[in-house]
Structures are given as structure tokens and as C-alpha cells.
Structure 1
Amino acid sequence: MANSEYEYVRNFEQWDALPLSNWLIVRIDGRGFTKLCKKYDFAKPNDRRAIDLMNSAAVEVVRSFVDVVFAYGQSDEYSFIFHESTTLFDRRAAKLATSVATAFTAEYCMQWATFFPDLPLDRPWPTFDGRCVCYPKRKVLRDYLSWRQADCHINNLYNTTFWTMVVKGEMSPTDAEQSLKGTLSRDKNEILYSRFGINYNNEPEVFRKGTIVYRSYEQTTHPNGLANGADGDKGPTALSKTQMQKELKRKQKASIAMEHVDIIGDAFWDARPYILANKRGEDYGE
């Protein structure tokens, strides 16, 4: 770019690179989705079409950003986890947040007709905002994901009970809200079962647990015999240019898996340690 007398204005830009050796999360949230749900008359408490649309958009975002190792979504939000050693956009927060949010928004709008063929999308278009958060250790990252899945369960149990009382119990929203004030999970489960014959545990897992998206690789073992990612929270190992190119090809060829399972416990992670492994390039099958 040619120099000019006006170039000094670049000095007002702030460098917002996120710290190294941190797992990066970009969490996107729908803007004004309460109005959107009313406008398109989404089913209560959950509209499977809307959830499937969110998940389909997330799959394409994971496919597009190869440094995303895992994503978790519920309701109108999704969290995309970038590996701690990513150098995408020089780790600039604004670049990461806006790129993921705009990519997700584009996918959501473009795929709308596939899931809502009888409901044409019009202005104001659905949009999503994004924020970046850094987590220095895998344990803290795991706690973040546990928090989001616990939030999914709490919100869905409340909404399921509330809307069942309104729709099937013919209560007013105000009365239903008052009846649920101060109740615990066991109280809501009892209301659903005793009054309406609904066993909450039989509700679809996609509603109760949310959705995970990740690249699926064959599990391998490190030369030292440890399972992938079982070497503690050491810093990421630098890779040669050839190793980086081979890893990129592996990620591009990997299948994108989508599941609705528990991620608070250890079972999922123990079976797939490569997802949050530190030593990239050694953790995936050829």
C-alpha cells in the first residue's frame, strides 16, 4: 500500500491479539431471537426445525475453520473451540469473532429454506453476534463446556415444564410462572410426571443435552504409550512446515461428527482424547 499523508490514522487501530497457549472460544448468540421465534411461530418449548438449522450451520462453520476442534450448541447459541496453538488471523479477537459470527449468519440464512420450506425468510434477517474468551487449561475449558451443557438442561427442564403447563394444563403464562417460582429440578420432574404423565428423561437428548460437533479421527497412541492428550496441560509442541501441511490435509479429510451426548463426565473425552490433545500432528491416524 502506498504511503500517504493520511496513513497516520492507522495508529488509532488497537492490536487485539489473544494470548498464546490459550484455548480460544468464539461463542455466537442470536440477536433478537425472541422476536424471531414469535414472528415465525416456532414450536414451544423446542422447535426441532430451528435446532436442526442451527446444527447444520454449525457443521459448515466447523468444516470451514480447520482449527476448530470442537463445538457445542444449544438454543440460539454455539461455542466454537479453536486449538490453543492456532495462529488464524494472528489470534486477533475481532477478526475471529466477526469471521465466525458472519459465517454462521450466512449459513443460517442460506439454509433457512431447507428447514422452513413453507416460511419464507424476510427482513429483518437473523443475525448472530460473537465474542472471544480465552481458557489457559483444558480443565477450565472442560468446565466451560460443562457449564453450557448444565445451562441447557436447566433451561430446557424449565421451558418443558412451563409450556406443558400452559399448553396441556391450560394455565395462563403468569400462573405457570408463579407455580414454578422457587421449584427445584425434582419438583419440575414431579409436575411433568404426576400431572401430565411425562418422563423428562425420555425427552429427546438433543433438547436435554444440546449438540456437539467435532472432527472424527481414528484414535492413536503416543510413542510413549500414553493415550492421546493424556500428558497433562503442557504447552503445544511446535510442528515443522511438512508436519503442518500433513495435519491440514488430515483435518480437511476428517469426517464431521454430530452427537447429542453427555460431555460433563469423562466418558466422551476418554474415548476421544485427540480432540483436546496438546501434541498436534501426533494425535491423529494417518
Structure 2
Amino acid sequence: MAGSKFAYVRNFELPDPLLPGTFMILRIDGHAFHRLSEEHNFAKPNDERALQLMDHAARDVMTEFKDIVLAFGESDEYSFLFRKSSTLYNRREAKILTTVTSLFTSSYVFNWSKYLSDTPLKYCPSFDGRIVLYPSTTVVRDYFSWRQADTHINNLYNTLFWALVLKGGQTTTQAHAVLRGTVSSQKHEMLFSRFGINYNELAARFRKGSVLVREEVSTETEGVDGLEATPLPVSEEVSEVVSSGAPRKASKKKVRVRTTIELCHCDIIGDEFWNARPNILAD
């Protein structure tokens, strides 16, 4: 950029680097999504189409930013975990925050019609975001445990609340009054005794949220006579004789590792998920 006498104004820009050697978690939240869900007639207590749209936007973010190894979503929020060693945009907070949040928002709007084709978008949705740094793997796991526990608590409440309103004929004020002071076991009992709903049989997507994880997939490759190897499925075998009938020279097999982004609705509070994927919290 060419210099000028006005360039001094750049001196007012303050650096905002994030502390190195720490885990970054960027959480995106929908702005005024209660109104958005009302204006667009989202199904209660959960609209699977809207949740799938959130998953799509989160996947687009992970596809663009390879340093994100895990994402967790519920309702109108998504949390993204960056690998500890990430140097994305030199760890400039404003740059990371604004770019990820804007990409998520634009993907949400762009793909709206794919999931809610019968519901025209009436106005522009928006999301806010924040980045929080966490010093250890223990705290990172506790963060995601907190978000999944929150998913369960909110969904259990909302499932019973909307059952009271939509099936029980109560007003929203009456439903809130009925639920005030109740504990989890009481909500389970009320759902089953009044409405025949076994909460534990509801879709895992609603009870556990969405987990997007970058999984490593290994494939074998084989090269002959110095030619570039062609990727092959691990289970696929290659003939040892070429078309001319001449013996084929010994080939060298290589294992190539690629990553895919997998969506699951599973428990991330216990050890099983993390023990099976040690790369998530590796440096």
C-alpha cells in the first residue's frame, strides 16, 4: 500500500494477539433467535431442519479452516476448537473472530432454502461470537462437557414445556409455573405419565447435540518402477502381473493419511470419545 501523509492513522490500530500455546475455542451464538424461530414458524420443541442447517454452516467453517479439529452445536450455537499449535492469522483475535463468524453467517443464509425450502427467509439472521483461551486438555474437555450437559438440561425442559402447551392445552405462563422447581427425574416422570413420552428414546440429535470431528483416514498407495503411486482402498488388492504378462517388479506400499469431517450425535462427557481420538487434544 502506497504511503501518504494520512498513513499515521494506522498507529491507532492496537495489536490483539491471542496467547500462544493455549487452546482456542470460538463460540458462535444466534442473535435474537427466539424471534427468528417465531417469525419462521420453527417446529417446537426442536426443528430438525434448522439444526441441520446449523450443522451445514459449521461444516463449511471446518472445511475452510483446517486448524479446527472439533465443533459442537446445540440450538442456535456452535463451538469450534482450534488445535493448540494453531497460528491462524498469527493468532490475531479480531481477524479470526470476524472471519469465522461471517463465514458461518453467510453459509447459514446461503443454504437456508436447502433445509427450509417452504419457509422464505424474511430478514437477515445474525450471529455474535467470542474467543476464549483454555490452558489445558482438562479444561477443554470440561468446556465441551458443560455445553453437552446444557443441551440435555435445556432440551428436557423444552420438551416437557411444549408438551404441556401443545398437547396439554396450557398457556406458556401456566407451563412455566408447572415446571418451576422441578428436577430432572420429575420431568422424566411427567413426560411419560402425562404424554407417554420416554425422553431417552428421543433422537440423540436433540438430547446430545451435534458433534463434528475431524477424523483421520488411512489409505494405502502403491508405486511401480518409480511412477507416482495411485491411492487405493486398504482392502483393494493389485495384480502382480502387468497386461503384457511380464512379471511386475516389487512395489512399495505407502500409507497416506487424509482427514474427513464426520457428524455424530454421541456422548462427549465420558472418556470413550476422547480416548478414541487422541489427535484432537494433541499439540
Q: Report the TM range for the smaller structure's normalisation.
A: 0.7 to 0.9
Partner of 2:119: 119
Provide Cα deviations, 1:153-182, integer angstroms capped at 9, x if missing partner: 000000001000111111111111001001
Match of 2:230 in 1: none
Cα displacement (A) at 1:52: 0.6
Q: 1:41-61: per-residue Cα shift (whole Å, max 9, x none)?
A: 001100000001101111111
Aligned residue number for residue 63 of structure 1:
63
Give the match's secondary structure for 1:19. Answer: coil
Unaligned stretches of 5+ residues in structure 2: 219-255
Q: Secondary structure at the match of 1:5?
A: coil
The Cα offsets for residues 49-95 of structure 1, whole Å up to 9 and x where unpaired, read as 00011011111111110000100000000001111111111111111
Q: What letter is aligned with 1:269?
A: W
Q: 1:147 maps to what in 2?
A: 146
- What is residue 231 of structure 1 aligned with on the other side? none
Matches within 5 A, 1:46-61: 46-61=46-61
TM-score (norm 1): 0.84
Query: What's the counterpart of residue 37 of structure 1?
Result: 37
Question: Do structure 1's residue 134 and structure 2's residue 133 form an aligned pair?
Answer: yes
How far did 1:2 drift? 2.2
Tell me which residue corresponds to 1:156. 155
More helix by share: 1
Pairing of 1:95-244 with structure 2 (within 5 A): 95-123=95-123, 125-218=124-217
- Say what the alpha-carbon RMSD is for the aligned residues: 1.3
Q: CA deviation at 1:99?
A: 0.7
Alpha-carbon distance in 2 for matches of 1:5, 1:122: 46
Are the aligned partners of 1:62 and 1:214 in contact in 2 as well (CA < 8 Å)?
no
Secondary structure of the structure 2 residue equivalent to 1:18: coil
Shift of 1:107: 0.7
The question of whether the paired residues in 2 share the 8 Å contact of 1:145 and 1:263 is answered with: yes
Partner Cα distance (1:126, 1:100) in 2? 15
Residue 273 of structure 1: CA displacement? Answer: 1.1
In structure 2, distance between residues paired with 1:274 and 1:178: 46
Q: Which amino acid aligns with 1:276?
A: L
Amino acid across the alignment from 1:85: S
Q: Which amino acid aligns with 1:264?
A: I
Rounded to whole Å, the distance in 1 between the matches of 2:94 and 2:186 is 43
Secondary structure at the residue paired with 2:170? coil
Matched, 1:262 2:262: no
Name the aligned partner's letter for residue 261 of structure 1.
Answer: C
How far apart, CA to CA, are the structure 1 residues paired with 2:53 and 2:198? Answer: 27
| Residue identity opposite 1:195 in structure 2 | R
Structure 1 stretches of at least 4 aligned residues deviating more than 6 Å after TM superposition:
none
- TM-score between both structures, scaled by the size of structure 2: 0.85
Across the two proteins, how many residue pairs are aligned to each other?
246
Tell whether the 8 Å contact from 1:152 to 1:208 is kept in structure 2 after alignment. yes
* 1:7 equivalent in structure 2: 7
Tell me the SS of whatever aligns to 1:69.
strand
Matched letter for residue 25 of structure 1: I
Q: Distance in 1 between matches of 2:96 and 2:130?
A: 9
Distance 2:274 2:64 in 1: 23
Find the residue that maps to 1:45 and give its secondary structure: coil
- Counterpart CA distance in 2 for 1:218 and 1:114 is 29
Which secondary structure does the structure 2 equivalent of 1:213 belong to? strand
Q: Is the 8 A contact 2:83 2:280 kept in 1?
A: no
Deviation of 1:112 (Å): 0.5
Give 1:3 shift.
2.2
Is the 1:162–1:180 Cα contact (8 Å) retained in structure 2? yes
Q: Secondary structure at the match of 2:111?
A: helix
Q: Percent identity?
A: 52
Over alpha carbons, which structure has the higher Rg? 2
AA matched with 2:55: N
What residue identity is the alignment partner of 1:268? F
Partner SS for 1:43: coil
Structure having the larger proportion of residues in strand: 2
